[in-house]
Amino acid sequence: MKNRSWTVVAVVAFALFTDYLVYGVALPLMPFAPAQAEGARRLGLLYGAYATGVLGATPCSGHLGGRMGCRPLLILGCALMAVSAGLFGLGRPFELLLVARFLQGASSSSVWTAGLALVAEHYPGRRAQMMGFALMGSTAGSLVGPILGGWLFQAGGFALPFLVAGGLAVAAGGLGCAGLPGGRPFRPGRSSVWTLLLDRSVLTAALAVALAAAGWGAVEPILPAHLARTTGTTPMAIGLMFTLATLAYGLVSPGVGWIADRCSTTRTLCFGMVCMAFTLPLLAMVKGRPLITAVLCLVSTAFAFALNPTSAALGNVVDCRGLGSYAPVFALYNVAYSFGMMGASALASAFTGTLSALRTLLWLSAAILSALPLLMAMEPKAAARPAPYPGDEP
């Protein structure tokens, strides 16, 4: 806490870690809930409740973050996360699980909107690099959550994993209270929020977020089915392959931020888009699980290059347009990411029966490449960076 230059990003990283950990704990344990949520229809309702919570709460998160500041929004998100974990721990009735999933989506929206906005606000000179460090927290949570949840479930039953997750959410909220500064009061800038959200640079950055999310979102339903059909790969082996790819994403994230800060956010994300477009079809072209795992790690690395700089790019647009808050554009970031991920998963699942995995990935690669001319013109012409908080920038 004494080193202010790292306090904000450390608190945000822990909050993102807890958010992904709670998600990773809840997802595999839902079929074992006392409310008997193992049916396909009930599981579909639970997944839909989470998405509804994210999309429904995101506009509110952007508005509240702009008006009352991102520190209280982050603390509110952690409180909702703790309540959600407590409701999950009860395990019944099924309607209570639906409420828990909805609150989990709402808490995720608040934590991500506030967390990314806080990093953008406090680190104008190292924005992309510090975003990379913050995103390492989410990567760690996605790796630890399913493992910790399974181990605690075996040790103490269904409620224990959620009690531990709820405790971590309370700890994240406490760190937010103790470690985050009060924040600057909201001051209307030269542009209104609605003008900014209709700004070409903002919408283009949102398109980049959606395309990056779609690229990775299509892999999740396509690759497991392709591996099971062609190589007979077990679910455990597939899970290990995705774990290694997630680890690759987390390890390269700080380096991606360092490159984006020293080169250009636009050039970095366009490089990532090109790499995604060329590596995605390789998943269906190469043979052998070790080689496919290596390609999947390359796709995950390209995903980091394509996605991570967009958060810094959105912050730069806010600086350039003179708006007093970063929260609205990062709310748009969450909406774009959700639509890209869910849309790609739905389309990939729909096309699985009519198109081969290779053709589906080729079509997706063509869509990514076709958007490059628009993405290359995204960067604002003159970004006037605000003065950093005392102690945040060296």
Per-residue pLDDT band for 198 (boundaries 50, 70, 90) equals confident
**Distance between CA 128 and CA 116 in Å, rounded?**
11
Q: Mean of the pLDDT values across residues 222-232?
A: 79
Q: Are the C-beta atoms of 344 and 364 separated by less than 8 Å?
A: yes
Report the pLDDT value the prediction gives residue 384, as an integer from 0 to 100: 46
4-179 and 193-376 share one CATH topology? yes
State pTM to two decimals: 0.79
Q: Which residue has the higher pLDDT, 13 or 321?
A: 13
pLDDT by residue (tens digit) across 26-56?
A: 877 777 777 765 555 666 677 778 878 888 8
pLDDT by residue (tens digit) across 317-373?
A: 777 766 667 888 888 888 888 888 777 766 766 665 566 778 888 888 998 999 888
Q: In 3D, which of 247, 244, 253 has the Cα closest to residue 272?
A: 253
Q: In 3D, which of 11, 18, 196 has the Cα closest to residue 122?
A: 11
Q: Mean of the pLDDT values across residues 197-215?
A: 82
Q: Does the domain made of 4-179 have the CATH classification 1.20.1250.20? A: yes
| Domain positions in the chain | 4-179, 193-376
Class of domain 193-376: mainly alpha
**Secondary structure string (H, E, C) spanning the chain:** CCCHHHHHHHHHHHHHHHHHHHHHHHHHHHHHCCCCCCCHHHHHHHHHHHHHHHHHHHHHHHHHHHHHCHHHHHHHHHHHHHHHHHHHHHCCCHHHHHHHHHHHHHHHHHHHHHHHHHHHHHCCCCHHHHHHHHHHHHHHHHHHHHHHHHHHHHHHCCHHHHHHHHHHHHHHHHHHHHHCCCCCCCCCCCCCHHHHHCCHHHHHHHHHHHHHHHHHHHHHHHHHHHHHHHCCCCHHHHHHHHHHHHHHHHHHHHHHHHHHHHCCHHHHHHHHHHHHHHHCCHHHHCCCHHHHHHHHHHHHHHHHHHHHHHHHHHHHHHHHHCCCCCHHHHHHHHHHHHHHHHHHHHHHHHHCCCCCHHHHHHHHHHHHHHCHHHHHCCCCCCCCCCCCCCCCCC
What is the average pLDDT value for the chain, to the nearest integer?
A: 81
Per-residue pLDDT band for 59 (boundaries 50, 70, 90) equals confident
Report the pLDDT value the prediction gives residue 322, as an integer from 0 to 100: 67
